[in-house]
Every structure is written in structure tokens, then in C-alpha cells.
Amino acid sequence: MARAQKHKWIFAARFRARAFGWKSQPAVTRVKEAVSEIKKVARKEPVLGAEGAVLFLQRVSPALVHVDGSSGAIGTAVYNAVQALVLIIAEAPADEATRDDWLVRLWQAYLDDEMPYIEVLAESWGDLCVTPERASQWADDLLPMVRATWASGTGYDTGAPACLSCLLAAGRHDELLALIERAPYRWWFYRQFGVRALAAQGRIDEALAYAQASLGLNDSEAVLARSCEAILLAVGRVEEAYAQYAIAANQANSRLSTFRAIARKYPDKEKHQVLADLIASTPGEEGKWFATARQPSSRSFPATALPTTLSVRYWAGCRGFAKRSDAVQRCLGNEA
């Protein structure tokens, strides 16, 4: 085990309290630069990289307090940064004293996170603990307050997600499931840990059923789909994962990006079948998949890849595209 050495971090001078104004783009750029700097160091010196990650997480929220987050850009940038840095911290071969110090510093940063930017950190607290013994100790420390808060019906407890994460990491699955049942409301943010606990016990079908029953009023079905898809893929039930969750779990900013995401995740699936399934999932909007169908990787699609429900008039009107797409040519009956 190793201790972190002293290092002069470039990002440290940039992430001072209230360092950024209201514009989000400069802050987004600096966040990405900081993560890149930490990753570069972590590749050669993982403990030093993890120390930089902890320092960044301590500084990021106070520095961004004045940034306008209405566009979602800065929130997304910080979320992605937290996900990347958690892995660096968890995988670093630090000694016990160093890791305990990191956790204390991160916990204080989490409690001081007013905006909040790093609240997602609590969901990975069990991973940050690294060992089941440390995770179990943190769970024991957090449990009394979580139980008291939930019993009083006053609502959200700051330590609840970290407590649930630690119970999961400690292997205390039955205790975790029992605690979730005491929550004052049904919320995926809590119940996702129950899904993972059942999956860890090998109770896959129960985990899927538990997930289906776990969505609260404002929860996203895409989050549930991603979780269930990951569980099925992990146990090799690929066809079931594709049929039930692939489309909902891999929605992206454009139809083409969605198609590419699914095609990458399911390389054994014929691409024309993926496209046909995506088209069938959006009845009445078949023509909007034209940009996907005309991609170079799609030109060898058989005619059956394009359902008969497509508007032939729409495709015929796109003559410039039709000349470059074998799939469209066959759909129009112009195959030589």
C-alpha cells in the first residue's frame, strides 16, 4: 500500500470558492481539463491520481456556486467527472489510513454540497470503501439516523443513499431490503440498491420484478431499463435484454446515435434488424429514421429491413438520397 505524494495540481488554482461567473461553458471546459489532468497522473501514479480526485471533489461545488446550470451542461459535466473519479479513487492501492482520510474529506464535501453537484457520490460510497469491513462500519454509523428520519416520516435523509450503498457493498442484502421497505415513499433512487442486492444473490427474476415495481411518480423508465438490461447482460441473457430493454435503455440525443449505441452493445445482432425494431418502436414516425437508413453501414440492408408501413411517397421524394442508398432503392423497387 502507498501514500499519496505532494503534487502541484494545475486545476487547484482554478477551482477556488466562487471562482466562476454565471457562464457555464468556461466552467465545463475547466472541469473536463481537471479530469484529464487527474487521469493522466493516475495512469502512472494511481494513489497520487486518487489524491487529486479527492481534492477536485472537495473544490468543485464551492467553485461553481454562481454558474448558471439551467442548460444542464455544467451538471452533466460534473456528473461525468464524478463517475470517472470514483473509479480512480476506488482502484487506487492506498493504505488504510490514507483511504480513511479520503472518505472523511469526501463526506464533508458531500455534506457541504449546497447546489448540489456531487450528491451522486453517495451512490458509490460502498465502492469507495473498497473493503466489506469498511463499508459495514460506515453502514453501522449511518443506520441510526436513516432509521430515525424514515420512522418520523420527515422525508429525505442525506446519509440514506450512502448507507444503502454500504449495506450492498458489505453483503448485508437482507438487511438492505428490509431497510428499503421502511422508506417513507417509493423512489428508484433508493430501490435501485434493492434491485442490485437481489441480483447479487442470483435472484435475477426477482430483481427484475422488484425493479418493475420500483418506479416512483417522477422516476425515469430509461433508468430502470438500463439497470435491468445490465443485469440480464451480466448473466448472459442477451436476447431477453435486447427484446425487453435495449431500445428504452439506449436512447440518445438522435435516432442515429440510438441506433449506433444499440448496435455496439449487441454486436451479434444484425444491424438491419436493429433498425427495423427501432422503426417499429415509433409508429407514425417511420420517415424520421431515413438519416439512419442512408448511412454507409446501412446500404447493404435487405429490403425486408424497411417495414411496409413506411411511406413510399416519403422515400420517393428523397431522390438524392435514394441514389446513394441500396436499401432505399430496393424499397422503391428500383433494384437493378
pLDDT(78) > 90: yes
* Residue 212: inside a domain: no
The model's pLDDT over 168-225, given as tens digits with 9 standing for 90+, comes to 999 999 999 999 999 888 889 899 999 999 999 999 999 999 999 988 777 888 999 9
Q: How many domains does the chain have?
A: 2
Q: Is 231 helix (H, G, I), strand (E, B) or coil?
A: helix
* Residue 108: inside a domain: yes
Q: Is 2 helix (H, G, I), strand (E, B) or coil?
A: strand
- Between helix 160-169 and helix 173-180 the angle, nearest 10°, is 150
- Residue 200 — φ and ψ, nearest 5°? -65, -25
pLDDT(332) > 90: no
* Residue 315: inside a domain: yes
| Boundary of a domain, candidates 61, 88, 121 | 121
* Residue 263: inside a domain: yes
In whole angstroms, give the CA distance from residue 286 to residue 291. Answer: 11
The band of 326, judged by pLDDT with boundaries at 50, 70 and 90, is low
pLDDT(256) > 70: yes
| Boundary of a domain, candidates 75, 103, 121 | 121
pLDDT(300) > 70: no
Q: How many helices (H) and strands (E) does the chain have?
A: 19, 0
In whole angstroms, give the CA distance from residue 182 to residue 3. Answer: 40
* Residue 162: inside a domain: no
DSSP codes, 130-186 = -SHHHHHHHHHHHHHHHHHHHHHT----TTHHHHHHHHHHTT-HHHHHHHHTTSSS-
For residues 113-141, give the mean pLDDT.
94
pLDDT score recorded for residue 173: 97
* Residue 229: inside a domain: no
pTM here is 0.83
Q: Residues 304, 306, 311, 316: is their CA dihedral positive or negative?
A: negative
For residues 288-309, give the mean pLDDT.
59
In whole angstroms, give the CA distance from residue 175 to residue 143. Answer: 11
DSSP codes, 70-95 = TTSHHHHHHHHHHHHHHHHHHHS-B-
What's the domain range around 308?
Answer: 250-336
* Residue 145: inside a domain: no
